[in-house]
Amino acid sequence: MIKEFKDFIAKGNVMDLAVGIIIGAAFTAIVTSLVNDLIQPLIGLIVGGVDFGGVSFGIGDAQFMIGNFITAAINFLIIAFVVFVLVKAVNKLKGPEVAPALVAPKGPSVEELLAEIRDAMKK
């Protein structure tokens, strides 16, 4: 069982996934700081100093924190944009992908098929 576990952990996909998760966690901290420390204050200046963290409304005992949702949506858009830019840059570095040419399957030509059909009909 220990050998199987070592084999499982040593697979390339598992290690790639682990590295991706670790880098993703670090990247999330950077994006969170970017949004909270740079972008939110700029948006606050544009909309008149509104602090999104405090924007909320209540119905009865329920409190709806709209500001937290707006912050999460901005975080998502920034992360999506950065990932888009990174993927675009990596694809540009890799160069154009050459698609394999579509090749017609080998077999009898149309004329040969028609001749076979003609011969079959004569019989």
Tokens of 15: 């290690």
Q: What pLDDT score does 51 carry?
A: 62
Name the nearest CA neighbour of 30 among 41, 20, 18, 38.
38
pTM of the entire predicted model:
0.47
Report the alpha-carbon distance of residue 74 to residue 31 in Å, rounded.
10
Residue type, 68: N
Q: What pLDDT score does 105 carry?
A: 63
Residue 74's domain comprises 2-122
Q: What is the mean pLDDT of each run of 10 residues along the chain (123 residues)?
A: 80 78 85 78 74 79 86 79 81 72 70 89 89
Which letter, b or e, does each residue of 45-82 get, where b requires 16 or more Cβ atoms within 10 Å of its Cβ? eeeeeeebeeeeeeeeeeeeeebeebbeebbeeebeee
Q: What pLDDT score does 101 carry?
A: 59
For residue 67, what is the domain's CATH number? Answer: 1.10.1200.120
Instruction: Work out how many domains the chain is built from and give that number.
Output: 1
